[in-house]
Amino acid sequence: MGGFALTRSRWYQFPIAVVVGVAVAGCLAVGMRSEATEQIYVANMESDTISVIDASPFKVVATIPSQGSGTHDLALTPDGKLLFATNLKTGTLTVVDTAINQVVATLQTGKATHAIAITPDG
């Protein structure tokens, strides 16, 4: 699986749940880095969570329950304010406010929502 490149963000994909020396829960982790906040977001498919990692000391600073099952893919708005996570098993999309690292909405999308992308203009 490949990631999507966004203008102000970089995608990271890992076959196991390890991000630059920081272990996070789950057997498949797909991550994205916000250059606006210097944080890395990792979707943990097995634990249905999103790990927030501070890019400087490479430390997990928050773990956000996705409120869905099979948390799989991530997309970050160009300004870094909102993070979207797809949930394969529940067919939902989780919306996270990155300023407070909390879920602000969960939207129904249909079966097996796999990937998401956001245009460079948001």
pTM: 0.73
Q: Which helix (H) or strand (E) holds 36?
A: none
pLDDT at 33 over 80: no
Q: What are phi and psi of 105, to 5 degrees?
A: -165, 150
The predicted structure's pLDDT at residue 20: 42
Rounded to whole angstroms, how far apart are CA atoms 47 and 110?
A: 21
CA of 119: how far to CAs of 12, 60, 101, in Å? 18, 28, 22
pLDDT digits (tens, 9 = 90+) for 59-113: 899 999 998 888 888 998 888 899 999 998 999 999 999 999 999 999 999 888 8
**Domain extent listing, the chain:** 9-108
CATH number of 9-108: 2.40.10.480
Q: What are phi and psi of 98, to 5 degrees?
A: -75, -15
Rounded to whole angstroms, how far apart are CA atoms 77 and 58?
A: 22
Rounded to whole angstroms, how far apart are CA atoms 61 and 87?
A: 22
When mean pLDDT is compared across 20-29, 56-65, 106-115, the lowest value belongs to 20-29
Percent of the chain whose pLDDT exceeds 70: 70
Percent of the chain whose pLDDT exceeds 90: 31
